[in-house]
């Protein structure tokens, strides 16, 4: 599946717009700050990477349910909740492109 933040795909023609799809994922454990800021920042970075992958997988699964072979116009939102849970939301438009 082709995933892109742009609204078109070079050398591919969009033949059908199938709908907006979303993938949301949240880290299941809160990140606590200790004495080492560098360890805390590394934990946040690793947590966001893991959660982002899960959100993208959900996005692709939701697009596949619509029989899409690409998602265009992807927007990514990353936030830490007040309880230090990492949350990632990925939204785009599921499309069928000519291959």
pLDDT digits (tens, 9 = 90+) for 16-35: 999 999 999 998 776 666 67
Q: What is the pLDDT of residue 76?
A: 96
Closest CA to 48 of 7, 81, 70: 81
Q: Domain ranges in the chain? A: 2-97
The residue ranges of the chain whose pLDDT is under 50 are none
Beta bridge partner(s), residue 62: none
CATH 3.20.180.10 fits 2-97, yes or no: no
Cβ pair 25, 87 in contact under 8 A: yes
Residue at token pair 């599946």: 1
Q: What is the pLDDT of residue 32?
A: 63
Cβ pair 57, 63 in contact under 8 A: no
Q: What is the pLDDT of residue 2?
A: 96
Q: What is the pLDDT of residue 88?
A: 95
pTM metric for this prediction? 0.84
Q: What is the pLDDT of residue 34?
A: 67
The secondary structure of 12-65, three-state, reads ECEEEEEEEEEEEEECCCCCCCCCCHHHHHHHHHHHHHHHHHHHHHHHHHHHHH
């Amino acid at each position: 599946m082709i995933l892109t933040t742009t609204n078109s795909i070079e050398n591919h023609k969009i033949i059908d717009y199938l709908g907006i799809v979303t993938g949301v994922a949240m880290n299941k454990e809160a990140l606590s700050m200790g004495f080492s800021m560098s360890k805390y920042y590394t934990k946040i970075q690793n947590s966001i990477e893991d959660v982002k992958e899960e959100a993208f997988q959900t996005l692709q699964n939701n697009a596949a349910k619509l029989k899409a072979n690409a998602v265009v116009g992807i927007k990514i939102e990353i936030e830490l909740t007040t309880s230090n849970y990492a949350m990632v939301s990925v939204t785009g438009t599921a499309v069928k492109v000519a291959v």
